[in-house]
Structure 1
Amino acid sequence: MVSRVLVPMDDSETAGRALRYALDVHSDAEITVYHVVGSPSMMMGSAVGLALEDDIETAATERAKPVFDRAHEVAAEYDTEIETQVGLGHPTRAIVARADDYDAIVMGCHGEHSENITRGFLVGNVAKTVFERSPIPVTTVR
C-alpha cells in the first residue's frame, strides 16, 4: 500500500499534471510536494542570486512560493491537504536523497527547462535519472 507520495514539482505543466495524477491515484496517501532550488553558485543560472543572499533558506523558500501556491490550488480542487518542502541542490540528487522517506514518487516527465529544449524526448533528464536511481517506484506523467 502506498501511504506516502513524493511529488517533485516545478513551474511546468507536466508537474501540475503529476500532482493531479498523484491526488487521483493515491487519494488516501499523504502527498508531499517537493521543490528543489539549485545550490548557490556563481555559475548556475537562476541560482546565482542565492549565492548573494544572506539567508539562503529563506530565499529558497521565497522562490518556491509560486510553485507551492499552485500546488495548494490544485489540492484545493481535490479538497485535500498537501505538505510542501523545499530542497537545495541538484534536483536529481535532492529527490533521490528523499526517496527512502516515501513509498512512491510521482513526477512530470520533463520540467520547466526541458519542455522547450527537448520537445522530441519522452522523458527529461531529471525524471530519467530519478527513475534510474530511485530505490522506490517512480511514475512519470506526460
Structure 2
Amino acid sequence: MVSEILVPMDDSEHAEKALEYAIDNFPEAEISVLHVIGVPSSMMGEATTLALEDDAEEAVTKRTDPVFKRAQEIAKKRNREVTTLTGIGHPARNIIDRAEEYDTIVIGAHGSDWKRASRRFLVGNVADAVSKRAPIPVIVVR
C-alpha cells in the first residue's frame, strides 16, 4: 500500500498534473510537495545567489511561495492537504536523496526548464534521472 508520496513541483503544467494524479489516484496517501531551488547554470547557480541575498530566508520564500500556493490550490479543490518541503541544490539529487522516506515518487514528465534549451542541456531531464536512480517506484506523469 502506498501511504507516503513525494511530488516534486516547479511552476510547470506537468508538475501540476503530477500532483493532481497523486491526489486522485492515492486518496489515502500523505503527499509531500517538494520544490527545489538552485538549478546549476554556466555562471552561478540559483542556490549560490541565495547566499548573496540580504535575507536568504525571505528570498527562499519568495521563490517557493508561487509553487506552494498553486499546490495548495490544487489540493484544496480536491479536499486534500499537502505538506510542502524546500530543497536547495540540484533537483534530481534532492529528490533522490529524499526518496527512501517515501513509498513512491510522482513526477511530471517535463519541468519548466524544458522550455529553456540551454538550461536543459546543463541540467538534463530531472524526471529521467529520478526514474533511473531512485530506490523506490517512480510514476512519470504527462
Whether TM exceeds 0.5 here: the answer is yes
Q: Which residue in 2 is equivalent to 1:72?
A: 72
Q: Which residue in 1 is equivalent to 2:106?
A: 106
Opposite residue 49 of structure 1, the aligned amino acid is T
CA RMSD of aligned residues (A): 2.3
TM-score, with structure 2 as normaliser: 0.87
Is the 1:68–1:84 Cα contact (8 Å) retained in structure 2? yes
State the 1:44 CA deviation.
3.2
Q: Structure 1 stretches of 5 or more lacking a match?
A: 119-123
Cα distance in 1 for residues equivalent to 2:105 and 2:83? 14
Opposite residue 101 of structure 2, the aligned amino acid is D
TM-score, with structure 1 as normaliser: 0.87
Q: Structure 2 stretches of 5 or more lacking a match?
A: 119-123
Output aligned runs, 1:1-142, within 5 Å.
1-38=1-38, 43-44=43-44, 46-47=46-47, 49-115=49-115, 117=117, 125-142=125-142
Opposite residue 5 of structure 2, the aligned amino acid is V
Residues 12 and 40 (structure 1 numbering): CA distance in 2 closer, same or farther, change over 3 Å?
closer
Residues 128 and 70 (structure 1 numbering): CA distance in 2 closer, same or farther, change over 3 Å?
same
Cα distance in 2 for residues equivalent to 1:21 and 1:116? 25
Residues 44 and 110 (structure 1 numbering): CA distance in 2 closer, same or farther, change over 3 Å?
farther
Residues 99 and 57 (structure 1 numbering): CA distance in 2 closer, same or farther, change over 3 Å?
farther
Q: Give the aligned length.
A: 137
Cα distance in 2 for residues equivalent to 1:41 and 1:61? 21
Identity of aligned residues (%): 55
State the 1:51 CA deviation.
3.1
Cα distance in 2 for residues equivalent to 1:102 and 1:75? 19
State the 1:27 CA deviation.
1.0
Q: Which residue in 2 is equivalent to 1:121?
A: none
